[in-house]
Amino acid sequence: MKKDLLILAIVFCFLFIVGISAQLFIKIKDVGMVKDQTALSWLWLKLSGKSTRVQSKGFSTMCSSRQDCFVFCKSNVGRCNAYCKKNSSHELCKMFPAARPQAWVKNAITQPVPEGASKVRLILPAPLDAIPLDEIGAFGAHRWGHPEGLDHEWISIEKRVPVGSWADGEVVSVRIEPGYGGDGKEYSILVYYGDGLWGEHMHVKTPLVKEGQRVKAEDPVAYGKDLENPSYHFGEFNLVDQHRRDGVQTWHKFIKGGTFVSPFDYLRDDVKKALEEEWQKEILSQFSTMTDYNSITPTPWEPYLTNPLLFHKDHKGTLVGEWFLRSRPWALDDAPDILILLPVQSPYYQRGRVMAVDDPAGGPYDFHGDWNADYAQNRIMFETGQETLYGIFELDESGTQAKLKLEYQKESYPTNFSSRAQIYTEREFISQGEERHYWERPEDDPRRW
């Protein structure tokens, strides 16, 4: 009897080792190389129950394990996209069919969803009467701490009402986000709604759901962080559509590619109609008489719930765009690190708007106001309300990334460029953080490959 049991144990161990070895070869073949580990050490780790970090093939210098690669690609979209263009069959690179590009509808409060985008439609995270419209930070708006333009939404909700789910879906993750809030104890909640559409509730103080839980539209999901106004809490929200390619690209959390989109565009028709009617009545009607542009969050130069994200490539031959300082390190000094030159794009504000921001990680505006350019003489003027600045410029669009050489001063236009002139490059369809990473490590930049 003991002999039979011994034989069975030996056979079982043999089969187990064969199975693990097969997994090893499959993993090496299909997932990729194992960093700093031989096959035997990987097998020992597997048998011992200890964790292993397996790198995805082609991502060997970028990330470990499948989850790590998703997190890595969130902040390194360009590198991941460059790899995936050549390796579309890789498990991390499989994408939904691309939606057809949609022409921008001028003077519309929201935009139509392009053909081929996700078919999922949303509701608001709270009843409309519990959301103060004058505190909404709309999609695309260049407001306060987001000189690059909001690719998500600021929404305040009355404290008596929890943040609700925007649609039916599955809770994918509930996790504390490093850097969120002063105490580092704020959460994010990621929900998958289906058909390539993902939502993230950010700056969550109290989660009301668990990972793996199914939720229905309107189900309570969270209470957000407290706001300065004690009557409200925060319902900040991100929406990503894996079918879209027409905005800031992202590998957000577990999402395999996609583009940040405005949730207001994806609202159910009846919900969108009600919201637009209230927006017209409460917000747009104010702009004809407004003089204090800091009294509410929406602005007359970006007056809609969905505003266009600003890329110079859409405005070639002009100075319009978001420009990043390249000729010196970013710091609190006399050279704005980010220069935003908005076009005249609103019937409520018939002037170009400028925002010159110094070190957006914590610095103030250098100046903001209006701008206009004389392209015949390569001159630019900034009017800030306190002073007028006179500048000269050179625009170079010959390369893959446009460059702007700029020098300005008070009282008169410079006659020629001096050592005070600064060089800016246009913002790309990637995050500000990744763009700066490429400056420090140009060998990582896929545009050089």
Report the alpha-carbon distance of residue 232 to residue 225 in Å, rounded: 9
Q: What per-residue confidence (pLDDT) applies to 79?
A: 74
Instruction: Report the distance separating Cα 381 and Cα 375, nearest Å.
Output: 11
The tens digit of pLDDT for each residue in 170-217 reads 998 898 876 555 566 889 999 999 999 999 999 999 999 999 999 999
pLDDT over threshold 50, residue 335: yes
Which residues in 250-270 are b (16+ Cβ under 10 Å) and which e? Answer: bbbbebbbbbbbbbbbbbeee
Tokens of 92: 């991390």
Q: What is the DSSP letter of 365?
A: E
d(CA 88, CA 95): 8
Q: Is residue 335 part of a domain?
A: yes
For residues 38 and 162, state if they share a domain.
no
For residue range 21-44, list pLDDT tens digits in order: 444 443 333 333 223 222 222 222
Quick one: which of 213, 305, 221 has its CA closest to 261?
Answer: 305
Q: Give the pLDDT band of residue 409 (cuts 50, 70, 90).
A: very high
Last residue of a domain, one of 86, 115, 141: 86
Asked if pLDDT for residue 116 goes beyond 90, the answer is yes
Most trustworthy range by pLDDT among 55-64, 336-345, 364-373, 429-438: 336-345
CATH number at residue 234: 2.70.70.10
318 and 272, same structural domain?
A: no
One domain for residues 279 and 329: no
Q: pLDDT band at 56, cuts 50/70/90?
A: very low
- Whether 277 and 318 share a structural domain: no
Q: What confidence score (pLDDT) does residue 66 get? A: 60
What is the extent of the structural domain holding 60? 15-86
**Strand partners for 220:** 164
Pairing assessment for the beta strands 163-164 and 169-176 based on DSSP bridges: unpaired
Whether residue 235 is contained in a domain is answered as yes
Overall number of domains in the chain? 3
Q: Looking at the structure, do residues 316 and 270 belong to the same domain, yes or no?
A: no
**pLDDT for res 204:** 93
Confidence at residue 71, expressed as pLDDT on a 0 to 100 scale: 66
Residue 47: per-residue pLDDT: 30
Task: Please tell me the distance from the alpha carbon of residue 386 to that of residue 409, in angstroms, as a whole number.
Answer: 14
At residue 70 the predicted structure's pLDDT band, cuts being 50, 70 and 90, is low
Instruction: Look at residue 93 in the predicted model and tell me its pLDDT.
Output: 75
Helix, strand or coil, per DSSP, at residue 186 = coil
Amino acid at 426: E
In a domain, 201, yes or no: yes
Give the count of alpha carbons within 13 A of 270, CB side only.
Answer: 0
Structure tokens at 101: 């590009």
**Which residue has 């009355």 as its token pair?**
158
Tell me: do 349 and 413 sit in the same domain: yes
Please report which helix (H) or strand (E) contains residue 15, including its range: helix 2-30
d(CA 157, CA 224): 9
Q: At CA 332, angle to CA 328 and CA 333, rounded to 5?
A: 65
- Whether residue 1 is contained in a domain is answered as no
Least confident of 91-105, 113-127, 333-347: 91-105
- The verdict on residue 433 lying in a domain is no
Model confidence over 282-325: pLDDT tens digits? 999 988 787 777 777 888 999 999 998 888 999 999 999 999 99
> Is-contact 338 323, C-beta < 8 A?
yes
Residues 326, 361: one domain?
Answer: yes
Question: Tokens 């970028």 — which residue?
Answer: 62
| E strands in 44-185 | 156-158, 163-164, 169-176
The answer to whether 202 touches 153, Cβ cutoff 8 Å, is no
Mean pLDDT over each residue of the chain, to the nearest integer: 81
Which of the residue ranges 25-34, 58-67, 131-140, 259-268 would you say has the lowest mean pLDDT? 25-34
139: CB partners within 8 A, 6+ apart: 150, 151, 152, 153, 261, 262, 263, 264, 305, 306, 307
Phi, psi (deg, nearest 5) at residue 420: -80, -10
3-state class (DSSP) for residue 265: helix
Q: Is residue 54 scored above 50 in pLDDT?
A: no
Q: Which CATH number do you get for residue 369?
A: 2.40.128
Which H or E run includes 437? helix 432-440
- Residue 98 burial by CB count (10 A; 0-12/13-18/19+): exposed, middle or buried? middle
**Rounded to the nearest 5 degrees, what angle is found at the Cα of 144, between the Cα atoms of 139 and 145?**
85
